[in-house]
Amino acid sequence: MKKNRLEIIKGDITNLNVDAIVNAANSSLLGGGGVDGAIHKAAGPELMEECEKLNGCSMGDAKITGGHSLKAKYIIHTVGPVWHGGYKDEPEVLASCYQSSLKLAKDKKIKTVAFPGISTGVYGFPKDLAAIIAVNETRRFLLKSSYPEKVIFVAYDDDSFEVYRKILKQ
């Protein structure tokens, strides 16, 4: 795998010029707080209309919509786990979020995809463990697939950026 297929940036995922962004959604897919609310707001009301037709999404799974008013052509919605101390299969469910999202990207031949820190906001998943899972699952997937060509991890704050930067250096 080429090393330049993975990148970390600090910024607002809704402003990225990529083929797809990943939304850390809730199971209704009808918007919420954090990244989910920001994506819904930036994408416009058409996103809500499209999401209403999807009948929600199971935890660990992913569904895809158009990007609407975003620069991204697609939004991949995935439902991460709420952290309960790691005793309710949270790491496995989070890994499944990345696998499901990357599989959708591969199936749609999406070249560039950006991920936020899934479940690390109000869902309380520890940022360092979440980043390890994100990077490991993505590396594993990219070893077997030519799509997506590039995966960008988007950190919203300095702490998250540093966690990903250290993991990606390994």
Which residues are marked as active site? 36
Of 3, 13, 5, the closest CA to residue 70 belongs to: 13
Report residue 113 as tokens: 């995809």
**Residues belonging to the chain:** 170
Task: Give the three-state DSSP class for 59.
Answer: strand
Cα–Cα dist 140/144, whole Å: 7
